Structure 1
Amino acid sequence: MMLKLYFVGFLIKSLLTIGIETQPAHGSLKPRNVQFQSRNFHNVLRWQPGSFLTSNGSVYFVQYKMYGQRQWKNKTDCWGTTALFCDLTNETLDLYEPYYGRVMTARAGSYSAWSMTPRFTPWWETKLDPPAVTTVPVNGSLLVLLRAPELPYRNRKGNNTSTENYYNLVYRVFLIDNLVEKEQKAYEGTQRTVQIEGLTPRSGYCIVAEIYRPMLGRKSPRSERRCVQIP
């Protein structure tokens, strides 16, 4: 009888030990830092492998849904992917609606719990690139042409869509005198064509520009310098 009780006690202790040891292993599979990264409404879900893991040998399963929906939807192109990202641009086309994404890891026959993003609203959270800048030197002046970033998809008519369709954009243009490397704001407004006058002939100037979204209080990075010689 004593031998039987000893064996049962040993078995229970062994099972408890196994449970304690395997729980961290399964927890380490769970993807970390699952979040949307959005630039010009190109919305990509990104994550990192679970703790103490590399991406080698792991596959991932991605689902998404709009806020308020009960059912999650599988992202077919990212169902069993080995990548650490998933493009959900076409699944998040309603730019004013909030979305969620989530990721699960599978490795060596084990599966992690789902790891979910915070709420993501493209219109609120996307980052804008700087405007494209074209400069045309004219006698004593400089014509600056600005173009807002385009969206990664077309409208129903098949035309490219600009971020101007979704924001009231303000353009800021800065003039740099190459002789003294002095910068000044030459323009701030909504016009995409800017004429900067009163420049010194046969002198060099550079232009940089940025986009400002007043409603959100955010600005883009600055564009690369566009340098010209005034005739």
Structure 2
Amino acid sequence: MAASVCAFILALYALCGSAAGSGGLSAPTNVRLTSYNMDLVLRWDPPEGTTDVLTYTAAYRSSATGYKNVCTNTSALECDFTSSLSTVYGSYTGRVQAHRGAENSSWVESNLMIMDKQTFIGPPSVTLHVTGTSLEVSIKDPVFKYSELREVYTLATYNITYWKSSPKEEVKTVSGMMQDRVVLSDLEPMSEYCVQVQIIANLETGPSNYSDVVCEHTGDVDAAPWVAAVVAFVVMAAVVALVVTLVVYWTRISKFLCPEVVLPPHFKESLLPANPSIYPVSPISEHCDQVSIIADHRTEEEEEEEGGCSTQPDTSQEGG
């Protein structure tokens, strides 16, 4: 009897102890590792039935390394591992733990993620250019968080879907295009066409979402392709001819544009300095005429009668 009572007490004590232990902090729920446009983000929900403010620690591991803590004591419900990655290839797993003061929950692991095969690729962006009755579809890949689409998926293709908007006709699709510029030529003139594009990266990832619908009106008639070629040839020929002309006739052209200034002679003389010692000039040769003195033999009476002045030299001085 005493033994049965002791056994009952021990069982009750063990039951109470386990109940007390189960009252600790619960672990986060719905833990999932996601990848969009080659990022790697761990997301989770708070523990069930918990209204307290909690913090979390999140970590990830690859197929070649152990767990690495990235977000510590964060209050957010997600952690971005992208900047910590060394490669997009291989498999990754995440885990998260909740904290409340000194209490810690158990770790909860996420699903396995193979980024290059399971990342979700977003839609491309599309613009349309009208060329006569044709539409040129220009495609721009989505921006990846890590690497670029063509570096990871070298054989990625585009599916281009288009239709006449009014009245709406049967949808047509051009598949398997690798070029980011595609011309749609089987269109009616003066009509509105709408286009959508999606990316096919590989079989594992599946197709991306379709891009936004983009619409544009076609022109009246087809633009002849030779017209653009002729215009380009004429422009290039004109440029070459202009360059050759400038090279050959540069001397004449420069003289025409910048003629030499020639001053008239009297301007040059007026600009010469008055002091020749400052600006020495060559001596000027003097021209002299020979003068002869002829003696006048008329008498003074004859000169007075003529009313003139005597020009006879003074011979008295000659004798001296």
Report the TM-score range of the alignment, normalised by the length of the smaller protein.
0.7 to 0.9
CA deviation after TM superposition for structure 1 residue 100, in Å: 1.7
Number of residue pairs aligned between Structure 1 and Structure 2: 215
Structure 2 residue aligned with 1:193: 181
Give the root-mean-square deviation of aligned CA atoms: 2.5
Find the residue that maps to 1:79 and give its secondary structure: strand
The aligned runs of 1:42-191 (5 Å cut-off) are: 42-54=39-51, 56-69=52-65, 71-75=66-70, 78-153=71-146, 161-167=147-153, 168-182=155-169, 183-191=171-179
TM-score by length of 2: 0.61
Segments ≥4 residues shifted beyond 6 Å: 9-12
Measured after TM superposition, the shift of residue 187 of structure 1 is: 4.6
* Contact 1:39–1:129 (8 Å) recurs in 2: yes
Structure 1, residues 157-208: CA drift from partner, whole Å, max 9, x if none? Answer: xxxx421111121101111211132321145321111000131221111111
| Contact 2:158-2:177 at 8 Å conserved across structures | yes
Question: In 2, are the aligned partners of 1:142 and 1:196 still within 8 Å (CA)?
Answer: yes
Larger radius of gyration: 2
Cα displacement (A) at 1:21: 4.3
The answer to which structure has the higher helix fraction is: 2
Displacement after TM superposition at 1:213 (Å): 2.5
Higher strand share: 1
Task: Find the aligned partners of 2:148 and 2:68 in 1 and give their Cα distance.
Answer: 29
Q: Structure 1: which amino acid aligns with 2:149?
A: T
Residue number in structure 2 paired with 1:34? 31
Task: Write out aligned runs for 1:203-214 (5 A).
Answer: 203-214=191-202
Structure 1 gaps of 5+ residues are: 154-160
User: What is the TM-score of this pair, normalised by structure 1?
Assistant: 0.83
The residue type paired with residue 178 of structure 2 is: T
Aligned-residue offset at 1:90? 1.6
Structure 1 residues 217 and 30, CA gap change in structure 2 (3 angstroms): closer
Distance in 2 (CA, whole Å) between partners of 1:103 and 1:145 is: 43
